[in-house]
Amino acid sequence: MPSEDVSHVAPAAQDSCRSCWLAVPGLLWLALFFLVPLVLVFAISFASRGTYGGIVWEFTWANYVDLLHPLYGKILGQSLWYATLTTAICFLLGFPLAYVIARSPARWQPVLLLLVMLPFWTNFLVRTYAWMIMLRHDGLANNLLLALGLITEPLELLYTPMAVVIGLVYGYLPFMVLPLYVAVERLDPVLVEAAWDLYASRWAVATRVVIPLTMPGIVGGCILVFIPSIGSFITPDLLGGARSMMIGNLIQHEYLVVRDWPLGSAVSFVLMAIVMAAVVLYYRQASPGDGPLEGR
C-alpha cells in the first residue's frame, strides 16, 4: 500500500522536534570538547613557536613548509607504507577467515564472529605488550624457530618495522573480517556453483565472481583497517624502534618532547586530512544499510 504508508511518516514530520532539545546537552558537549579543540589545533598550526615553547599568535605557513623536510617526509612515507602493508596482510588473512565464517552453519556464525571480535575489545596496550613477549630476544617466536632448527641464533624481531606491521595487523584484523563477512554472507552460493558449472577454474571463480561481488566489503574493510593503522601510536611506540616511527609518534614527540606545538598541530592536520579522505571514500562506497563504523 504505497500511498497509505505515507500517512505513517507524515505525523512524525508534522509535529517534528517536540523533544529535539533532548539532543542539545550532548551536542553542546561534543561541540565544546571535540570541535573547539580541533579548531584550536587548526589555529595553532598556523602560529609559531615562542622561545620557551609557548605559542606566538602570528599567522605563518612555516609549520607546513617545515613538514617538507626529508626527515618528516620519511616518517610520513613509512607511515603510509606500514598502513598499506597492514591493510594488504589483513585482507589476505581476513578474506579466507570471513569466507569460512560466512559459509559455516548458521548457528556457528555469531560464535565465530564473536571469537574474531573479542580480542579487539580487550586492552590495546596489553595486546601490544603480548607481542613484545612473543618477539623478544628470548621470546616464544625465537624459541620456536630455534627449536625447529630454522635459525641457529635468535633474530632481532622486536623494534623492527616488521614488528610494527605484525602489531597493526593483530590490532585491526577484526575491522577487515566484519565487512567481508557481511559481503560474503550476502553472496548467493548458487552463483559460485553456476560459475563452476560454466567451466570456471577455482581461480576464475574467485577472481571473476567472488571478488567482484564482494568488492564493497573489500573496499570497506580495507579503509576500516587503513584508518586506525595510519593514526596509530601505541604499536610503533612499543614494538617499533626509533627508526620505525609513525605520524602518531611524531605528533606526541613534537608536543611532549620538543614542545613545538605549532609544528605538532600541523602534523596533526596532515594526519587528519589523510584520515578524512579515507572516511569520505568509505561513505562513498558504503551501501546505506551498512551503518557507521561501530566500535573503536
Partner 1 sequence: MKQRSLGLNAVSLLAMLFLYGPIIVLVLYSFNAAHLSMTWRGATLKWYAALVHDEALLAATANSLLIALVSTIGATGLGGLLALGMEQMPHRRQQLLEGGLVLPLVIPEVMMGVALMLLFVTVHVPLGLTTVILGHIVFNIPLVTIMIRTRLRKLDPVLREAAADLGADSWQVCRHVTLPLLRPAIWGAVLVAFTVSLDDFLVTFFTAGPGSTTLPLKVYSMIKSGVTPEINALSALLLVVSMIGVAASLYLQRREV
Partner 2 sequence: MATFSTSPVSASGPSLSSTVPTIDIRAIVRHHGPVAAVDHVSFQVRRGEFFSILGPSGAGKTSVLRIVAGFEDPDAGDVLIDGRSMLGVPPNRRPVNLVFQSYALFPHLTVFENVAFGLRMRRVPAALIAEQVEQALAMVKLVGKERRKPAQLSGGEQQRVALARALVNKPAVVLLDEPLAALDQQLRQAMQVELKSIQEQAGLTCVCVTHHQEEAMMMSDRIAVMHQGRMWQVGTPRDVYENPRNLFVSRFLGVSNELPGRVDDVVEDGHLFHPADDQVPAFPVHAGSEASPGGSATWSIRPERLRMSRERPAGRDAVLNGFIEKVLFAGSETKYLVRVGRDRLWEARTTGAGESPHAPGDAVFLHWAPGDGRVFVE
Q: Residues 1 to 20: which contact partner 2 by CB under 8 A?
A: 1-4, 6-7, 10-11, 14
| Under 8 Å between Cβ of 53 and 259 | yes
Binding partner of residue 101 among partner 1, partner 2, none, CB cut-off 5 to 8 Å per kind: partner 1
Task: Considering only the stretches 61-69, 95-103, 149-157, 213-221, report the one whose residues sit in contact with partner 1 under the rule CB under 8 A.
Answer: 95-103
C-alpha span between 79 and 85 (Å, rounded): 10
The type of residue at 284 is R
Question: Residue 58 interacts with partner 2 (CB under 8 A)?
Answer: no
Question: Residue 123 interacts with partner 1 (CB under 8 A)?
Answer: yes
Binding partner of residue 204 among partner 2, partner 1, none, CB cut-off 5 to 8 Å per kind: none
C-alpha span between 275 and 282 (Å, rounded): 10
Question: Residue 60 interacts with partner 1 (CB under 8 A)?
Answer: no
The residue written with cell numbers 621470546 in the block is: 139
Q: Which of residues 164-223 bind partner 2 (CB under 8 A)?
A: none
* Secondary structure of residue 49 in the 3-state scheme: strand
Binding partner of residue 238 among partner 1, partner 2, none, CB cut-off 5 to 8 Å per kind: partner 1
Binding partner of residue 283 among partner 2, partner 1, none, CB cut-off 5 to 8 Å per kind: partner 1
* Secondary structure of residue 56 in the 3-state scheme: strand
Question: Residue 131 interacts with partner 1 (CB under 8 A)?
Answer: yes
C-alpha span between 246 and 124 (Å, rounded): 17
| Under 8 Å between Cβ of 128 and 234 | yes
